[in-house]
A and B are shown apart, each in its own frame.
Chain A
Amino acid sequence: MAKVSLRHIYKVYDGKVKAVSDFNLEVEDKEFIVFVGPSGCGKSTTLRMVAGLEEITAGELWIGDTLCNHVEAKNRNISMVFQNYALFPNMSVYDNMAFGLRMHKVPREEIDKRVKGAADILGITEYLNRKPKALSGGQRQRVALGRAIVREPSVFLFDEPLSNLDAKLRAKMRTEITRLHKRLQSTFIYVTHDQVEAMTMGDRIVVMKDGFIQQTDTPQNLFRWPANKFVAGFIGTPQMNFFSATLTRRSDGSVEARTKGFTLVIPAEHTYRLDEKYLGGDVTVTMGIRPDDIKPVSRAAPGAQICASVALVEELGTQTLIYANTDEGQLMNENSDTAFCASAGENTGITAGSTVEFEVDTSKLHFFDEQTELSIKRRIPDVTVGAQVKGGRVFMLGGALALPPVLASELGEGSYDAEIPSRALSFAGEGVSGRVEETEELGKGRYLSRVLCGNDRVFVVGDSPLSVGDKVCVSVAFEKISFLRGREEVISAIPGEMKLNGTYVRLKEGREKNHYIVAGGVKIPSPMDFNQKMYDRGRSIFKRKLSFGIDPAAASLGEEGVPVTVDKVLDYGSAKYAIVSLGDGKLCVALEGPVPADPHIKLNFDSIKVYDSDIDMRLF
């Protein structure tokens, strides 16, 4: 049994076609994880990289405690079930299942025991002497499963194993694989393009598109909190309905969502997670409503009603799908911005051509930025609150907080908007007081609380459960928040990582060959370990345009190293940072003491991230 870690994995074909980009995933031991996405999204390629059938272009693959990038497939202790079963046609079922064990020189008695045991589990004992061609599709798939389980591997890989089966058999095998996972207690990685398979089988699902992970979460969370429009549309059957809408915050706190065909009013308690930037009524967003959240009713509640003409009714037994349009002239145009699908129970009595009133569950609406398609109603939202600076203190979140020296000097007295990401808030240390309004478990011992601080609501992640009504103290990490006046950023949060463009060179100096990174136009000698990592990328590393990602902790100022100019010191009280110029590039460096008289920068090469700028790929 093993954990599988995929860290910044890339797959690039012919040096230019990116099939998988920056794939990051920690698969826990005994977890059933499903990769899902449309054809060509890179899910099978990723699985094949885990299997050792595809070379990894960049990144690290860990299985257990072993870095497996260059470990042969046979030595990774994995088994794989293929889409086309990939049984050996010239061998009997028994020999197919025993093949791997024979390769690993397992004693004959043990092979016999394991093969017969697996055959018993899968109900294929009577077919052991048959050749694969004498078996049906379902039986072949069972043999393929049997071949995988006899090896008792630490990780099972499944590449769309059910896609060649008919619908009935697929549903049966789906249950069998889920049972098998519970029985074997192994790590399963399963690839499918069928979202129903993904939702029913996986502990967690990785949704992919165009080689990128769109979202990784549990089936329920993907359904309730899709990170973007793609995930929202991909997960859930029938697909989510999308409408162009404008959102306006009303005086009573509720939000009015106005579309071309109808207007909805979202009660205030369901709007706290919405990004305030989009609530001015001047930005068009995409509103998503799942068909299950639109029901035909005789009289809908005000602010939740849609009147529409029915174009088509599909009776599915216990469920009825109603395709309707608020614009009668566009009735047969299912792609129009006014068309939608609603779901109802059986025997609705609704017929095509009739006009029906629908009620929308306004607590379950989804909203997305029209350009980026990212959700603007996130589960753990960042918030923007009003802040008043006066006398070296900032009045926000219903309290007064002492400003750190840098903010006290940079922010003049007056009103600002403070952009506070959720990671800037915690229950540790001093801060503003608030009252818990809502709390939910995030998993892995983390809890999310909605806290009312003054008139503002913030979302804070803590590691202990709280109860509604609890009084708490919310502390603010000022280095992680930005202050804006109007739309202009007055002071920004300390960046996590700054990039310097450059190259990697090898120079002959006297009798020696020395290696340097040339960043911001300055030559910085690189140590042996770093050079080896660069050499691992092949000879072309010297010809490529690179960029070096350096976070504040990866550099320090002292008397030794490369000379730099200190542009500004940012004193946040508990932590100090310096913005330095290195050649024509800028870096942010964490300060551990006073700024030296003749400042030099020393880079921690173990923490430097190297990117290939030509194809926008992280090398390590």
Chain B
Amino acid sequence: MKKSEVAKLHFPRRFSAGTVAKKTVVYVVLIALCLAFIVPYLWMIVTSLRTEMAYNSTGFTLLPIDEYGNISFHFENYSEAFSALDLGTVFLNTMIVCVVNTVANLFLNSLAAYAFARLKFFGRNSVFRVCLFSMMVPGTVMLVPNYLICDFLGITDSLTALIMPFLMSIYNIFLLRQQFLGVDKEIEEAAKIEGAGVFRIYFRIVLPLVKPMLIVLGITTFMWNYSNYLWPYIVNTDPALRTLSTSLAELMGADYDLTVKLAGAVIVSAPMIIIFFVLQKFIIGGTMAGAVKG
């Protein structure tokens, strides 16, 4: 083939100029949004590895440099944050609250959701409507009544006060009910004819079919309890009952270097970030599954 002929060769154009322009705009917006979310967190991690002096002597940077411009890592901020947060006790408290609340919440709410979806009982729809209506009431409004109830029950200043008021979640019930409604009724009827009772159908047949949604709700419930700050702050005054969020808040208000405070923030947020990356397949899949019935 002659050189002039080779020069004429070209691959087919896959996209028109308009399509390329549109895609460029979309990617620019997406990248900007990614940066908006990632940069502050990255800055927090980087700054938590620097000294207070280095932080004050340089402007905004995403590099762990000291006041002389050299790369250096200062992990002592983390050891100071560990002790300032009282991490052992606080982490144990948080895990107790989060795990118990998540397990109990999923168990009870899925039972309620299944009842609303499948069982026939007097007033089922009315009760469900009332439940839905209660979703319209802002959570903050419920702080005072909840506190008074806990006080009446004598469970303030205890981990029970952090668990009991949040055992039932209308939001979770609603989402699980929609999932149960999407399960083919014939499968349950087949199990019924085969000899299974309501609970066996629920545990052996239906619950495994909504596993992705259960995982999503488990994660969101865990995260909500993990980051719940206001309620533990109100209901518990005993320092031995502090959770990660209240402990971090105290650290923020205390007389520590900003780099130590940011190290504390990284420590507190790390478990959630890890959980997200490990289970992101379920989170995204489950959220999508909840969007469309069936």
Contacts and interface: CB of A to CB of B under 8 A. Distances in A.
Interface of A: 51-53, 73-74, 78-80, 82-84, 86-90, 99-100, 103-104, 147, 151
A74 B209 contact: no
Interface in B158-197: 184, 186-187, 189-197
B88 interface: no
Q: Most chain-A CB neighbours within 10 Å: which of B190, B204, B205? A: B190
Contacts of B195: 74, 100, 103-104
Contact of B189 (A79, A82, A90): A82
A86 B191 CA distance: 9
B187 A103 contact: no
Nearest to B200: A103
3 smallest A-B Cβ distances: which pairs?
A: A103-B195, A100-B194, A86-B190
B186 A103 contact: no
A74 B196 CA distance: 7
Contacts of A51: 189, 193
B138 interface: no
B208 interface: yes
Given A89-B209, A90-B208, A74 B184 contact: no
Contacts of B189: 51, 53, 73, 80, 82, 86
B184 A84 contact: yes
B193 A80 contact: yes
Interface in B192-233: 192-197, 200, 204-205, 208-209
A94 to B, nearest CB: 14
Contact of B192 (A53, A89, A104): A53
A84 B195 CA distance: 19
Contact of B194 (A74, A83, A84, A90): A74
Contacts of A79: 193-194
A103 B196 contact: yes
Nearest to B184: A84
Contacts of A74: 192-197
B99 to A, nearest CB: 25
Nearest to A98: B194
A610 B195 CA distance: 35
Interface string B68-108: 00000000000000000000000000000000000000000
A73 B209 contact: no
A86 B192 contact: no
Contacts of A99: 191, 194, 196
Contact of B193 (A73, A87, A88): A73
B186 A82 contact: yes
Interface of B: 184, 186-187, 189-197, 200, 204-205, 208-209
Contact of B187 (A53, A80, A83, A88): A88
A78 B193 contact: yes
B186 A88 contact: no
Contacts of B208: 90
Contacts of A80: 189-190, 193
A425 B191 CA distance: 53
Nearest to A157: B193
A98 to B, nearest CB: 10
A89 B188 CA distance: 12
Contacts, number: 59
A53 B196 CA distance: 13
A52 B189 CA distance: 10
Contacts of B191: 88, 99
B186 A151 contact: no
Contacts of A52: 192-193
A346 B196 CA distance: 56
A80 B184 CA distance: 16
A51 B192 CA distance: 10
A53 B200 CA distance: 17
A80 B189 CA distance: 9
Contacts of A104: 195
A87 B205 CA distance: 10
12 contacts: A51-B193, A53-B193, A73-B189, A74-B196, A79-B194, A80-B190, A80-B193, A82-B186, A87-B190, A88-B191, A89-B187, A90-B209
Contacts of B200: 103
Contacts of B193: 51-53, 73-74, 78-80, 100
B194 A147 contact: yes
B186 A84 contact: yes
Interface centre among A52, A74, A87 (most CB of B within 10 A): A74
A315 B189 CA distance: 45
Contacts of A83: 186
B113 to A, nearest CB: 18
A73 B196 CA distance: 10
A18 to B, nearest CB: 21
A78 B190 CA distance: 11
A96 to B, nearest CB: 9
A548 to B, nearest CB: 33
A84 B187 CA distance: 9
Nearest to B195: A103
A472 B190 CA distance: 57
A90 B196 CA distance: 16
A587 to B, nearest CB: 42
Name which of A73, A74, A86 has the most chain B CB atoms within 10 A of its CB: A86
Contacts of B209: 89-90
A151 B194 contact: yes
B29 to A, nearest CB: 38
A328 to B, nearest CB: 52
A427 B191 CA distance: 54
Nearest to A51: B193
Nearest to A104: B195
Nearest to A103: B195
Contacts of A78: 193
Q: Which of A82, A88, A89 has the most CB of B within 10 A?
A: A88
A89 B184 CA distance: 11
Nearest to A144: B190
A86 B209 CA distance: 13
A104 B205 CA distance: 17
B215 to A, nearest CB: 15
A103 B208 CA distance: 18
Contacts of B204: 88
Contacts of B190: 80, 82, 86-88, 147
Nearest to B188: A86
Which residue, B193, B197, B200, B205, has most C-beta atoms of chain A within 10 A?
B193
Nearest to A153: B193
Contacts of B205: 88, 90
Contacts of A73: 189, 192-193
A151 B204 CA distance: 19
A90 B190 CA distance: 14
A147 B187 CA distance: 13
A88 B190 CA distance: 9
Contacts of A89: 187, 209
A86 B184 contact: yes
A491 B66 CA distance: 120
B4 to A, nearest CB: 57
A87 B186 CA distance: 9
A80 B200 CA distance: 19
A99 B208 CA distance: 15
A605 to B, nearest CB: 33
A536 B187 CA distance: 31
Contacts of A151: 194
Given A51-B193, A100-B193, A147-B194, 6 more contacts: A52-B193, A73-B189, A80-B190, A82-B190, A86-B190, A103-B200
A79 B196 CA distance: 13
A160 to B, nearest CB: 11
A79 B193 CA distance: 7
A83 B185 CA distance: 12
A362 B209 CA distance: 61
B119 to A, nearest CB: 15
A469 to B, nearest CB: 56
B282 to A, nearest CB: 16
A53 B192 CA distance: 9
A429 B192 CA distance: 56
